[in-house]
Amino acid sequence: MYLVLHAGVHATDEDRLIKCLLKNSEPLGARGVAVPGPSRYRRLIRDTLHALADGELAPDARSVLLEAILDDETPERVILSNDNFFSVPKLAVGKGVFYPGAEMKLQRLRQLLPQDQIELCFALRNPATFLPAAFALSPDTDLTTFLDGNEPRYLLWSELLTRITTAVPDISVTVWCNEDTPLIWAHLIRELAGLDASTKITGGFDLLTEIMSPAGMQRFRAYCHKHRVMTELQKRRVISAFLDKYALDEAIEEEVDLPGWTQETVQQLTDIYEEDVHRIASIPGVTLITP
């Protein structure tokens, strides 16, 4: 079995990807791809991985887990999504790193599913906006407590990815920048589902409808109807052009309002993030999807 685990991260996806995949569950099922509802597995997997920390794995643990998630289905590919897989937002930062427990969770998942291929997928986000957004999701009321005393400029996604690929080198990793998601949305859906670029999907423009004006979406759909044959690169260029003209400012502008943070702080973190993304592109075992 090929398991695709979409692990968020927090304040990036908000379940949009899995909801779009669920819209396509029937045609995907005909292709051997299962998209179970999150309520079937999120707590179950969490509790199973917690139990692994306290005792040995039961011989039938894998079969019991998959039967509970899939019933009598025997798909070739299964897509799961949980932005709390690594941790709850409160624990997104600790010990000087992003998601300090991530590799341990993945090691336990590998122990639970030793014979299956696993692909880990998640979005990265500029720490200048990720940290405020994750803090807002946390019960912490003090920023220093949430950051665990860490300096934001030293928090790097490349460090997290290096830890993951070192701890579980046989798990493939695919990441993308959240800032690019509107341009690559349909590609991400097909990537997670293992579909080729020509396969039709429902909801390929879902994200665009949230950030583009109704008039812009009408013109965009008309353009796509007129130009039915476009490469992925051409589609992304068209999306970019329409967003330049019709994007809703309130939907794409991100205000950062944290005590002690200035515009200089935001720019410094943004520059570090852009350098880090270049570094990530060269990490062995990691695929970076770009527009």
Q: Is residue 34 part of a domain?
A: yes
User: For residue 140, what are the CA distances in angstroms to 26, 33, 46, 148?
Assistant: 41, 39, 22, 11
- Token code pair at residue 19: 């909801």
Q: Is residue 227 part of a domain?
A: no
Q: Is residue 266 part of a domain?
A: no
Interval 256-291: pLDDT, tens? 778 889 999 999 999 999 999 999 999 999 999 999
Distance CA 105, CA 77 (A): 21
For residue 257, the 8-state DSSP code is -
Task: Tell me which residue has tokens 């930062």.
Answer: 93
Task: Give me the CATH number covering residue 280.
Answer: 3.40.50
Distance CA 231, CA 276 (A): 29
Interval 167-185: pLDDT, tens? 999 999 999 999 999 999 9
Q: Hey, which residues does 121 pair with through a beta bridge?
A: 6, 174
pTM tops 0.85, yes or no: yes
Amino acid identity of 169? P
Distance CA 109, CA 123 (A): 20
Q: Tell me what pLDDT residue 289 has.
A: 96
Q: Is residue 242 part of a domain?
A: no
Domains of the chain: total: 1
**H/E stretch holding 149:** none
Distance CA 106, CA 283 (A): 18
Q: Tell me what pLDDT residue 148 has.
A: 87
Q: Is residue 65 part of a domain?
A: yes
pLDDT grade, residue 249 (50/70/90)?
Answer: confident
Residue 192, domain extent: 2-203+271-289
Q: Is residue 188 part of a domain?
A: yes
Interval 113-141: pLDDT, tens? 999 999 999 999 999 999 999 999 999 88
Q: Is residue 245 part of a domain?
A: no
Q: Is residue 230 part of a domain?
A: no
